[in-house]
Structure 1
Amino acid sequence: MVALGRTRIGSRSGYINRFIKHVSRKIMMGHISEQLPKTFNVAAYLLNGNLERGNSQKVAFFSRQDNYTYEQLSQRVQQAARLLTSLGLERENRLAILLPDSPESVFAFWGAIWLGALPVPINTASSIEQAQHILRDSRAKILLSERSWQTKLAPIESPFLQQVLLTDGDDSFLSLLSQQPEEPFPCAETARDEPAFWLYTSGSTGMPKGVIHLHQSMVICAENYAKATLGLKPDDITYSVAKIPFAYGLGNTLFMPLAVGASTVLSDASNVFDIIADIHHYQPTVLFGIPSLYANLLAVSDIESLDVDSLRLCISAAEQLPESIWHQWRETYNREIYEGIGTTEFLHIFLANRLGECKPGTSGRPVIGYDVQVVDQNGQPCPPGEIGDLVVSGESLMLGYWNRLTETREVLWGNTMHTGDKYVQDGSGYFKFVGRKDDLFKVNGQWISPLEIEDILHQHPQILEVAVVPESDEGEKLTQVVAYVSLKSGKEPTSELGTEIYQFAKQRLTHFKAPKTLRFVEQLPRTATGKIHRKSVADSQKMALNN
């Protein structure tokens, strides 16, 4: 007998399969959470669902270490739950996972949810200070990491941490798993609206905040975006550049492929050439990228061209994709990029461009199940073409920020969130990102969006990336437009090139929007999730060039 609370691996009752079809029929009605049983464990639902559908011998994920079928994944997850229980991890305790995307991180994440504990993935691109903060703030009882990170963090500044498990060494996490019995381990009878995991924000405006998500949230995002918007299929293979601790990467790699019985690739590729090698090796059908990935792939296309034959979908999220990059990608590879936007607080994408309905330079239109509006300072809807604040409602909205009551109440109004993003909606219902509320600035008394200027500069053939920020003249206190520019490989900064770029911008922008100062940098600073860190961009190592 299959129940969504306690499940048996060998069961073939078909209940979960019928339930999945039932939920799918209810998508158009919304309120997916109401279609789920009150007692609901999302790990059991997704893993046992695949066994019910006959996917036991299908590869769930590929990795350089090994490939794992759905049956092997289910077994390792239950062994992880048993191991963590034996080490004292109890229901509602936190398990911190500070690892690259790997089999160990997958087993531990689902294993913790299986036993009713809360996994807390930590991005390996985090600073030592950020990692220490997350360990302390989450009150994690156990940390799963690598020996190199254990050394970096020593001493770990958390009085709550009781044990550190390592993925390397004599008593590695995988070796400990192999010592566990293989018989089924009962899952916790959790509730659909009970916390299942935490994700931490990127910390671009202070220390990261813990975002609490529920068991039902993964199902909601999978139904609304993976199935209804992308049309993700069982024969798809997904490849995500965004990593598991990032909400975008968590969906791309962990729960969306499982929700449809697809396969995914676990990779820790850190440069564009390794990513190209991965894509050529694994032949994914869906590429979940970020704007900088597409820019870098285009920048090296003359050196090493990407074989896109396997790709049916190219997705971009995390930050605005320059329209010029979209057109270059289609011209070079004959593929469209389907841009979308989401937040950690909503777990995944709520605005998206769709197949056959793509409008470059926009975040697309609302994903089914989400109400998205642009409102003025009084909370009233803005007419098309008017800039306002983006507010979003939807079932996957977080429970709140951990121990941040004031911040939670500042952004949540009932089931609606004020995202802090400035947007404009056109007459066709497409939403265009203008910037974060603190990104916009005034020059000559007129508002400027850095993204507009950056998109023009991206069209220059020698520019790889650019960030536009305001800087004030110390003498007259006047705000001027400053552009920080990184060049494509092999290009050298010169005063002549600076003048050329300035003239290029001046010919395409209103005079007061053209950057008065241009500074070349080797690379732009980024947050742990890969977004350009605007607040620290002026502190980057400067290769002085002023116009």
Structure 2
Amino acid sequence: MERISQQLPRRFNVAAYFLERHLSDKIALFYQEQTYTYTQVYEWVQKAARSLLELGIERENRIALLLPDTPELIFTFWGAIWIGAVPVPINTACSLEEVQYILQDSRAKLLLTTQAWQTQLHPIQSPNLQTTLLQDGETPFLAYLSPMPAQPLPPADTLRDEPAFWLYTSGSTGNPKGVIHLHQNMVVCAENYGKATLGLQPEDITYSVANLPFAYGLGNSLYMPMAVGAATVLSDANNAFDIIADIERYRPTVFFGIPSVYANLLAVRDIAPLDVSSLRLCVSAAEQLPESLWQQWREVYGREICEGIGTTEFLHIFLANRAGECKPGTSGRPVPGYDVRVVDEFGATCPPGEIGNLQVSGDSLMLGYWNRLEQTRQALYGHAMRTGDKYLCDADGYFKFMGRKDDLFKVNGQWVSPMEIEDVLHQHPQVLEVAVVPESEALTQVVAYITLKSDYQPSPELEQQICRFAKQRLPHFKAPKKVCFVEELPRTPTGKIHRKLLTRSQQRTDFSTTRA
């Protein structure tokens, strides 16, 4: 069967592909009190493209976009690709140091950001950055855009396999890496996952808690709904109550969440129950969803959570549970178009039930990391990539995440996966979130960092109770010997638990923890 990428014409501009296919008065975007139809989105992209040209932006120039999820971000992202430039969305959850690094590393010629960020970044430490455009409440960026051209601006004569945009990894291990994606990659993900796996339809309204600069969010809120002519909600919700209000207001049909959000929505259900009547599909990604959390969501709301896993390097999800076929506690089975295997250190496929390295191949694989030749060659094996995740594949073909390669550790000479322990601790009625790490470099004990539900307070008695709870359900060497209660777990800009900070915190005093 011919690959999706090979079905596309050699000369191909992905912005034109998505923007010209559904021109109509159908709503494409919901944003606060505003709506934008597909025709209006196309017109705003035309204005953004013309404005970028007038600013001297040329083909292959990088454009940094440091914005919240707003229409401006979408219009400028597509407008840059339309003229053959390369947008680089930057997650607003990044630290100031990470943003400065990305601006320098990408050699962006133009930065579009808010007044607040521009003030923080001044002076910007990037000699190649020539212009800063501002977007704030008083002078929105849309006001700066050129009028709609009398004749539509033709898209740049790009190729399907040339760079279209960059995304930066979350930087949990060292500086963020610039991941180079091609014009064809969004189409591959939209077809294989959005259509063939999720079954997105024109009537759908998607709602994503992941932001657009995050690979998961970019698919959820941009190109996957546009591939079928569906609508999406752009939101600045930052807590469970805001998300509940958004779902009641916009009535989305597909909810893209992450494990911590599902946990928080369940935690507040007694005072703010979620109306799920509009939702036909709930999805989770970014990190492992505890099986107990899946079961609780199903019991409370009567909905499955279709968990999946993807990476920035593959742009979106390549392992997924499908509606009606979910196996809780797993990442699901391969998405069409991807070859996924668990292999040993020599590249041989592991038998069912044996832990190994996750190796994936598919047409949405990145071109490589910007200016990281050695790391690119370490990651890529021809058309495949080893993701750095430890997995096993069971007898039914479902893949189970066992941790990052650096997450697994030994206790008494036996390998321990933190995921197994965390899933047990999630079953305790007072636990909201948990992360398990080894005590020290000696790797002799298991430590559990725990955030409690809002009605509970840390105490020595609760620590002992949680430890007993774990011992009754786990082999003795896997049960935590120490519990540290924290107000919140440290996270990367993409929302994943930052385990390395937890490990380092045990040798430092600047990470706030409360021992029971």
Question: What band does the TM-score fall into relative to the shorter chain?
Answer: over 0.9
**Which residue does the alignment assign to 2:508?**
none
**Which residue does the alignment assign to 2:311?**
343
**Which residue does the alignment assign to 1:22?**
none
Change (3 A) 1:497 1:30: farther
**CA positional deviation for 1:30:** 4.4
Q: Are residue 202 (structure 1) and residue 167 (structure 2) matched?
A: no
Instruction: Tell me the secondary structure at the aligned position of residue 469 of structure 1.
Output: strand
The correspondence for 1:232, drawn from 183, 187, 200, is 200
**Which residue does the alignment assign to 2:488?**
523
* Kept in 2: contact 1:79–1:185 (CA 8 A): no
The correspondence for 2:417, drawn from 421, 441, 449, is 449
CA distance in 1, matches of 2:401, 2:330: 7
Q: Are residue 43 (structure 1) and residue 11 (structure 2) matched?
A: no
The letter of the residue matching 1:541 is S
**CA positional deviation for 1:198:** 0.2
* Kept in 1: contact 2:43–2:148 (CA 8 A): no
The correspondence for 1:119, drawn from 87, 110, 113, is 87
CA distance in 2, matches of 1:184, 1:490: 58
The letter of the residue matching 1:417 is M
TM-score, length of structure 2 as denominator length: 0.97
**CA positional deviation for 1:277:** 0.4
CA distance in 1, matches of 2:269, 2:444: 38
CA distance in 2, matches of 1:457, 1:171: 49
**CA positional deviation for 1:185:** 1.3
**Which residue does the alignment assign to 1:541?**
512
Instruction: Tell me the secondary structure at the aligned position of residue 50 of structure 1.
Output: coil
Deviations 1:304-325 (A, max 9, x none): 0000000000000000000000
The letter of the residue matching 1:524 is L
* Kept in 1: contact 2:407–2:418 (CA 8 A): yes
Deviations 1:93-132 (A, max 9, x none): 0110001100100101000000100010000000000000
Change (3 A) 1:448 1:49: same
**Which residue does the alignment assign to 1:26?**
none
Number of equivalent positions: 510
CA distance in 1, matches of 2:114, 2:4: 38
* Kept in 1: contact 2:50–2:146 (CA 8 A): no
CA distance in 1, matches of 2:241, 2:138: 33
The letter of the residue matching 2:19 is L
* Kept in 1: contact 2:46–2:149 (CA 8 A): no
Instruction: Tell me the secondary structure at the aligned position of residue 451 of structure 1.
Output: helix
CA distance in 1, matches of 2:2, 2:10: 17
Q: Are residue 59 (structure 1) and residue 27 (structure 2) matched?
A: yes
**Which residue does the alignment assign to 2:270?**
302
**Which residue does the alignment assign to 1:31?**
3
The correspondence for 1:479, drawn from 424, 441, 444, is 444
Deviations 1:133-152 (A, max 9, x none): 11100011110100000011
The letter of the residue matching 1:487 is L
**CA positional deviation for 1:369:** 0.3
**Which residue does the alignment assign to 1:243?**
211
Q: Which runs of 5+ in 1 are unaligned?
A: 1-28
Deviations 1:368-389 (A, max 9, x none): 0000000011110000000000
Q: Are residue 172 (structure 1) and residue 143 (structure 2) matched?
A: no
Q: Are residue 292 (structure 1) and residue 264 (structure 2) matched?
A: no
Instruction: Tell me the secondary structure at the aligned position of residue 309 of structure 1.
Output: coil
**Which residue does the alignment assign to 1:466?**
434
* Kept in 2: contact 1:84–1:112 (CA 8 A): yes
CA distance in 1, matches of 2:137, 2:222: 26
Change (3 A) 1:170 1:515: closer
**CA positional deviation for 1:66:** 1.5
Matches within 5 A, 1:182-193: 183-193=151-161
CA distance in 1, matches of 2:90, 2:125: 15
The letter of the residue matching 2:305 is I
The letter of the residue matching 1:427 is A
Instruction: Tell me the secondary structure at the aligned position of residue 224 of structure 1.
Output: helix
**CA positional deviation for 1:65:** 4.7
Change (3 A) 1:292 1:30: farther
* Kept in 1: contact 2:281–2:305 (CA 8 A): yes
**Which residue does the alignment assign to 2:184?**
216
CA distance in 1, matches of 2:443, 2:376: 36
CA distance in 2, matches of 1:215, 1:40: 7
**CA positional deviation for 1:182:** 5.5
Change (3 A) 1:504 1:227: same
**CA positional deviation for 1:169:** 6.4
CA distance in 2, matches of 1:317, 1:525: 18
* Kept in 2: contact 1:30–1:369 (CA 8 A): no
CA distance in 2, matches of 1:171, 1:57: 27
Change (3 A) 1:75 1:182: farther
Q: Are residue 140 (structure 1) and residue 102 (structure 2) matched?
A: no
CA distance in 2, matches of 1:315, 1:155: 41
The letter of the residue matching 2:425 is L
Which runs of 4 or more aligned residues in structure 1 lie more than 3 Å from their structure 2 counterparts after TM superposition?
Answer: 169-172, 178-183
**Which residue does the alignment assign to 1:363?**
331
The letter of the residue matching 1:412 is L
Change (3 A) 1:158 1:380: same
* Kept in 2: contact 1:308–1:333 (CA 8 A): yes
TM-score, length of structure 1 as denominator length: 0.92
Matches within 5 A, 1:424-439: 424-439=392-407
Instruction: Tell me the secondary structure at the aligned position of residue 373 of structure 1.
Output: strand
Deviations 1:333-356 (A, max 9, x none): 000000000000000000000111
Q: Are residue 505 (structure 1) and residue 470 (structure 2) matched?
A: yes
Q: Are residue 490 (structure 1) and residue 455 (structure 2) matched?
A: yes
**CA positional deviation for 1:482:** 0.3
**CA positional deviation for 1:181:** 3.6
**CA positional deviation for 1:177:** 1.8
* Kept in 2: contact 1:75–1:182 (CA 8 A): no
User: What is the RMSD of the two structures over their aligned residues, measured on CA atoms?
Assistant: 1.1
Deviations 1:267-305 (A, max 9, x none): 111111001100110000000000001000000011100
CA distance in 1, matches of 2:2, 2:82: 27
Instruction: Tell me the secondary structure at the aligned position of residue 184 of structure 2.
Output: helix
**Which residue does the alignment assign to 2:127?**
159
CA distance in 2, matches of 1:200, 1:261: 28
**CA positional deviation for 1:510:** 0.4
* Kept in 2: contact 1:83–1:180 (CA 8 A): no
Instruction: Tell me the secondary structure at the aligned position of residue 477 of structure 2.
Output: helix
**CA positional deviation for 1:178:** 5.7
The correspondence for 2:372, drawn from 377, 384, 404, is 404
CA distance in 2, matches of 1:204, 1:484: 18
Instruction: Tell me the secondary structure at the aligned position of residue 467 of structure 1.
Output: strand
**CA positional deviation for 1:544:** 2.0
**CA positional deviation for 1:472:** 2.8
**Which residue does the alignment assign to 2:344?**
376
